[in-house]
Amino acid sequence: MVGIAFGLSSIVGRVAQFIAASTAPVPKPAPAGTEYLSVSALGEQMARPGGLTSVDLISHLQARIGQLDPTLHSVIELNPKALETAHALDLERASGKVRGPLHGIPVLLKDTIETDTMQTSAGAFGLVGEVADKNAPIVAGLIEQGAVILGKTNMSELAGFRGGPDGWSARGGQTLNPHHPEADVGGSSSGSAAAVTAGLAPLAVGAETNGSIIVPAAKNGVVGLKPSVGLLNRQGIIPASQRQDTPGPIGRSVFDTALMLNAMSGIDTSDPQSVGAPQGIDYTALLVPDALKGKRIGYPATFTVNGEPEAVENSAQFARALEVLGEKGAILVAINMRLADGSRYGELLYSDVKEELGAYLAGRRGLPVRSLTELIKFNEDRDGKDTEHQPALKEVSASTLTPQQRKALWDETLQDFRSTIDKPINAQKLDAVVADFETNSYFAVATAGYPGITVPSGTDENGLPTSAYFFGTRWSEPTLLAVAHGYEQASQAATRPKPQALD
């Protein structure tokens, strides 16, 4: 009886899906500017009788992608089931069921995150084959919360570990910055940031080893959160290093990014990096007026290199960011930050990639390659040998560190980088630290496995986005989001691409 009941349930479910798909309404034109509405504003529109539907929104964004993305190269593949899912969610809303703030909201995913309806290739033709047999847990969580997976985004191939330009992949081409086609787009979550900037989706998921969320978010003028390593489930994501990897949200506001983090939350109990990770937190709870009042926020006035402090030359935009923070009640504290020794970081990271990416290829079914050696040969057969087009991948494959050597060196490196952040924060009793993104503080924060968030701070002399970067110690996401939100709301410094830049 159990088997019969399960079978009937499955058949009824499929019939219901077929009926829903066959009776899907003709999409209505979306009002002008819909592509840049916040998640909350989109939810409010969908809640109105006769208002915007998820089908309307998805259709509008699919058309916009068709119009703009042949130039931007930010979206590598569209989800063939997006409209079907949107229609089902519209029917749920009409029946009175709303799953949460992301109900009917489209989300794009970096092409390293497994889905069972699209390729997961990290932009590499060598990883195009059978689709994954299930969605990554963070994707399943987003779907459970009512998000519509709109598609996959382009990226620096193999998360930059092929060695090509930022934003380029063999499969997706060269992602462009929507603000200017010749501007740096950043990597490796290039397409995720560029697509959100261009109004192709309100939200996207990126993934970072070191800088891969923060850099493209900053370069494209949107908000990117790199969470503490272990805060989110990392299963079903093409790996580089379990000591460094994390997925994270990209949006056009801190509030939208916090909503996304809520929907992505959930740890992997088998992941040793998740021990002690907080759970059940509403990351929007502290995003309130006066969030900055009384907060002690450090900013690097000097960086110590080889024992000698060097003064930091901050941009005019960052100087103004400090003024805004002070005007809103933050207590600003000048600090010195020691720069840790990162001389062996690349060697250690490449060694991790060799082991972890190699294991992933060996375990993933239905791909043209099963090892790094096969992937290198595949690329040579496809792209030729006359020019060097995969230097980083060959360095990864040539790594010779043993696991024992690597562990000892990693332990020393991580302790060194963490102390450069923990010491000034603890000594000055800081709630957070803010730095000009251009000081590259994100490198130390990512290496430490700590959280950081980048927020637009204006534009430079070329009209390109600038960003302030907030960071803190492990698991400090609620406070970081609060101070970042306070700054964002006070500064109103975000800018959109000029329409002619998107033509």
List active site positions: 110, 188, 212
CA distance 503 to 501: 6
Distances (CA, A) of 379 to 121, 188, 319, 360, 389: 14, 19, 46, 18, 9
Counting beta carbons within 10 angstroms of the beta carbon of residue 343, is it exposed (0 to 12), middle (13 to 18) or buried (19 or more)?
A: exposed
CA distance 450 to 423: 14
Whether residue 442 contacts residue 455, with contact meaning beta carbons closer than 8 Å, is answered with no
**What is the torsion angle, in degrees rounded to the nearest 10, for the CA atoms of residue 191, residue 193, residue 198 and residue 204?**
90
The secondary structure of 473-493, three-state, reads: CCCCHHHHHHHHHHHHHHHCC
Q: What angle do CA 145, 149, 154 make, to 5 degrees?
A: 135
DSSP for residue 229:
T
CA distance 260 to 109: 12
Whether residue 30 contacts residue 64, with contact meaning beta carbons closer than 8 Å, is answered with no
Q: Residue 226: helix, strand or coil by DSSP?
A: strand
CA-nearest of 478, 474, 409, 471 to 440 is 471
The packing angle between helices 477-491 and 316-327, to 10°, is 100
Task: Provide Rg for the chain, Cα atoms.
Answer: 22
CA-nearest of 42, 118, 121 to 86 is 42
CA-nearest of 143, 137, 130, 155 to 207 is 155
How many beta carbons lie within 10 A of that of residue 488, not counting itself?
22
